[in-house]
Structure 1
């Protein structure tokens, strides 16, 4: 296998190259103004280890796969086109009202509770850019009010004259009957042919999101339109860069659904958070191939700390109505929790608690932490790690970034003055705080889903994961934590492991069990027709990308609920078609079991009735993946590795400096055991073994941190 996979993060661009039986990683700072520059540098670093020129490598690989935060950054910076929206008459306020919850969605819990200071985000589509169109389709898809085509032409003309650079059509119940939305696009092209209007896109809501829920579907389409130009130009630049360097195959883009597709088959909204989701995909492959059991994936990079859950049995945790930035959308996205706790997280004085607050603001890659010596003035977690002695100033990021300890000290002096603490004590407080924030985030995510942290293997990856692993585990109350193979670029590894996949879904009102009539569902033909249509859409997507129809596999997922409960539970069906009452009963039994696992056995209420709200089909083609093996601690001990030196480091809970042994990349040799305190500095990351902890290097560069007799 010869493959390049890339994770373009907020601070670093990570590159993973599979070259036959060799796996090489490369890192570089993300160049936000032109993502291709950071990619070229990261790939060049990997190619130098392989002793292969970049054009020669790109001409031989089977694929190049990208996961990127470009869409996330565009939302944060509000960089996008002026959008106009066409909605059904009477529904003009659906978008600005945002279900009366827009003031809090996407904010931390404490901000949501601060009602007096609540404020809505700056709208992507201002009210003057929303126009009503005379039409109406009822919930069954029957046309109640035929489309007034003259009205459509007038409203489109008004939006274009008002400066609209992208148009969105979001009609009520269009997912049941899209005829009116489709006709609006025809009218638009009649009035403004491409040679007159240029490349202004028109997006139809039923094609972006297949479920009911007018606000979420409208916002999905609006955000897709908002990100369209940014993603088109940004990823287009990356593709042109590949072409210039000898790569002639389609560029592949990772999706936040856990799959990937060619650039021409990717919606902009599907790329948001695709980098962290790639790390969760790599965690799933690691779990399946090595038998680790349940794992919680934690990615501590330069900007954020991302948490995902992977459990045995193939059950995937999705957010079917995730909040992206400040808006609720209607796309299936692998469940992810993001905390503002990365290496670049800025530290401030918390006047209320007279302590320190870490994040969520980040210094990013430009200017970056103060110690990067690029103009950053505010104290960050990386500055604290440097002041505590954990980082080698001359060997950070493989020597590509020289750290300036004097700048870090200057940044922490003002914070220390407000806390009335020395610089070192302030840095120790920052480490305690950020480790506790991350540990509490993991514990909350697991316990709210009925799990205990001790029943999971915690994976610590990302550029800063192994550096804070022991501190996180100590607060979490676990005695084992794993830094997986290629931990510094683990999300990039996952970007290369994903299957090409498309997800299509449709809203439905299907009663599997009617408690009033004591009847089970029997209209199998209508159900199967919906499944067949969703399979056809997925098959067309993948065949268009060059796959044979016979190579495509399908997974049927169904959103179910008891009666009129608002809570829905996703069930992966054992069969792709319903053919008998036995299939219906089997599906109900799966739902019963899954609901009990989620909310507690005995909470099921079939007497309220059982309904299907959404039918979803995942169409995918299985791809070859990187192999993980031999990463368990088998008790063997390899050749003893001697330290390359010592350094005084400071640890929370210890009053003075502690003499700490230093090791280089040789400590990654399989079987190496090191008792803390110790530091293992490699070209990609730093492993911190705190006092009372033990380090064990397993196969493929995986590292276990254990405490006590574990």
Structure 2
């Protein structure tokens, strides 16, 4: 297996290369103005370790896979085309009203507690760019009001004249019968052939989101159109860069659904948060291979701290109506919680509490933390880590980024010390304590709101800063064991190479399995099975178009079910691909009953109110070769640590005086090595901080356990 996987983050571009039996990590600063430059530098770092030219490597690899934050950055900066929207007559206000929840969606928990002072986000589509079209399809899919084609031509012309650079069609009930949306596209191409308007895209809502719910479907399609241009040009540039270096195969892009696909089969919206989701995919594979049980995936990079859950029972935690930026969408996405707590998170004085607040603003890679000496003036978590002695100024990121301790101290002193009435070291300790506590609180909240306890989970600490803050997070969380996985610095890039080629298709349905009014059970098996077959057909066509053999395609059926008219839905993954009898209907209801009880407490089920299926979802995928993870269980054998390469004074939270701390290099990663803290292990990829009271246990394949003694 030969493969290149890339995770383009807000601060660093990580590259993970599989070259037969060799696994190699590369790292470089992200170049936001041209992502190809950061990719080339990161790949060059990996090729140097392999002793290969980039062109030779790219000409021989099986695939190149990207996960990127292009879409996230475009939303933050609001850089996108002017969009025009066509809606069903009478539904012009569906999007602006935003179900009256537009004030709160996408805000932090703290901000949601003060909704009267919250403000709506700036609309991606202003009201003058929304036009009504005379048409209507009812909830059963019957055409109630035939499309007025002359009206369509007029409205399209108005939007084009108003400067629309992308068009969205969002008709009511089009997921049941898309005939009118499809006809609008034909009319658009008749009126404005490609040689007149060039590359103005028209997106149809039923092709982007398959569920009912006009507002969420509309925002999904609008965001997809808004990101389309950025993704097309950004990823297109990356693909041209690959072509110039001898790579002639299709480029693959990671999706936030936990799969991947070729660029020509990827919607822009599917790439948002694909980097952190790739880390969750790697955690899932590692948990199974290393028999870790339940796992919390935590990714602390330069910009953010991302949390995901991997359940050993195989339950996948999806957000079926996630909020991206400030917008509710209806595109399935692996559940992810993001906190503004990365190495580049900016620290500022909180006047209300007289303390330090971290993030969500980040210094990113340009200018970066003050210690990068690239023009950054504000203090960050990385600056605090440097002041406390944890980072080697001459050996950070394998020596590629020299750090300036004087700049770090000056930034902390200028912005925080006077307000806090503390010296620079105590202020740096406060920054570290607060960022560790914030991350620990995020983990505890995420687990406990889902009915889990942190002590029942193995916590993975990865990303460039994960092993550096692992002990501090564990101290604040009250756990005594934490694992930095193999390839921890580039773990998300590794995960981007481990996901399957996959597509998810879904449709809304009104399928009543048990009707309490008539005491009857569902028996329309043919209609249900035809719906499943249609979704499988769409997935199969997507994969065959990308060159996948039909006999290798597998399907997973998921159903969103609920009791009566409850709003809470539970996703049930069933092994039954079809329904043929009442016995199978009862078996499905029993599976839902158990799943609901496990989630909300046994006895909370209410089958007497009826059981319904609201959404049918089919995941179509082809299994791909995976990176082979070793078993990482703690072994009884113990290897004496190597001689320290140096010592330096370090300051620790809870310790009044600096402690002369031994510094180790890559030799400390030999399996079985145990080092009692305090100690620091600095490798070419990351820094492992072993705080007082903790022990460093090197496991197989470069994995590291932190155990509190």
Q: TM-score of the superposition, structure 1-length normalised?
A: 0.99
CA–CA distance in 1 between the matches of 2:670 and 2:585? Answer: 54
Which residue number in structure 2 is paired with residue 110 of structure 1?
Answer: 110
CA–CA distance in 2 between the matches of 1:659 and 1:487? Answer: 27
- Per-residue CA deviations over 1:540-587 (Å, capped at 9, x if unaligned) read 000000011111000000000000000000000121010111111111
Which residue number in structure 2 is paired with residue 317 of structure 1?
Answer: 317
> Structure 2 matches for 1:446-595, cutoff 5 A?
446-595=447-596
Which residue number in structure 2 is paired with residue 131 of structure 1?
Answer: 131
Bigger shift: 123-132 or 639-648? 639-648
Which residue number in structure 1 is paired with residue 22 of structure 2?
Answer: 22
- Per-residue CA deviations over 1:131-169 (Å, capped at 9, x if unaligned) read 011111111111111111111111000000000000000
CA–CA distance in 1 between the matches of 2:71 and 2:329? Answer: 14
Which residue number in structure 2 is paired with residue 701 of structure 1?
Answer: 702
Q: CA deviation at 1:669?
A: 1.0
> Structure 2 matches for 1:59-458, cutoff 5 A?
59-414=59-414, 415-458=416-459
Alignment partner of 1:450: what SS? coil
Q: CA deviation at 1:645?
A: 1.4
Which residue number in structure 2 is paired with residue 2 of structure 1?
Answer: 2
Which residue number in structure 2 is paired with residue 629 of structure 1?
Answer: 630
Gaps of 5+ in 2: none
Q: CA deviation at 1:638?
A: 2.1
Which residue number in structure 1 is paired with residue 645 of structure 2?
Answer: 644
- Per-residue CA deviations over 1:501-539 (Å, capped at 9, x if unaligned) read 000000000000111111111110000000000000000
Q: CA deviation at 1:670?
A: 1.0
CA–CA distance in 1 between the matches of 2:82 and 2:182? Answer: 22
CA–CA distance in 2 between the matches of 1:640 and 1:533? Answer: 60
Alignment partner of 2:60: what SS? coil
Q: CA deviation at 1:115?
A: 2.3
Instruction: Give the conservation status (yes or no) of the 8 Å contact 2:36–2:238.
Output: yes
Alpha-carbon RMSD: 0.6
Which residue number in structure 1 is paired with residue 621 of structure 2?
Answer: 620
Bigger shift: 491-500 or 102-111? 102-111
CA–CA distance in 1 between the matches of 2:115 and 2:450? Answer: 27
Instruction: Give the conservation status (yes or no) of the 8 Å contact 2:641–2:668.
Output: no
- Per-residue CA deviations over 1:340-388 (Å, capped at 9, x if unaligned) read 0000000000011011100010000000000000000000000000000
CA–CA distance in 1 between the matches of 2:248 and 2:417? Answer: 55
Q: CA deviation at 1:629?
A: 1.1
Alignment partner of 1:264: what SS? helix
CA–CA distance in 1 between the matches of 2:289 and 2:506? Answer: 30
Alignment partner of 1:59: what SS? helix
CA–CA distance in 2 between the matches of 1:306 and 1:490? Answer: 13
Q: CA deviation at 1:630?
A: 2.9
- Per-residue CA deviations over 1:438-464 (Å, capped at 9, x if unaligned) read 000000000000000000000000000
Instruction: Give the conservation status (yes or no) of the 8 Å contact 2:640–2:674.
Output: no
Q: 1:562 to 1:695 in 2, by over 3 A?
A: same
Alignment partner of 2:483: what SS? strand
Alignment partner of 1:155: what SS? helix
Which residue number in structure 2 is paired with residue 605 of structure 1?
Answer: 606
Alignment partner of 1:287: what SS? helix
CA–CA distance in 2 between the matches of 1:619 and 1:679? Answer: 45
Q: CA deviation at 1:671?
A: 1.0
Bigger shift: 104-113 or 388-397? 104-113
Instruction: Give the conservation status (yes or no) of the 8 Å contact 2:505–2:618.
Output: yes
Q: CA deviation at 1:622?
A: 0.2
Instruction: Give the conservation status (yes or no) of the 8 Å contact 2:483–2:703.
Output: yes
Q: After the TM superposition, which parts of structure 1 deviate over 3 Å for at least 4 consecutive aligned residues?
A: none
- Per-residue CA deviations over 1:59-81 (Å, capped at 9, x if unaligned) read 11000000000000000010100
Q: CA deviation at 1:617?
A: 0.2
Instruction: Give the conservation status (yes or no) of the 8 Å contact 2:513–2:522.
Output: yes
CA–CA distance in 2 between the matches of 1:539 and 1:151? Answer: 37
Q: CA deviation at 1:639?
A: 4.3
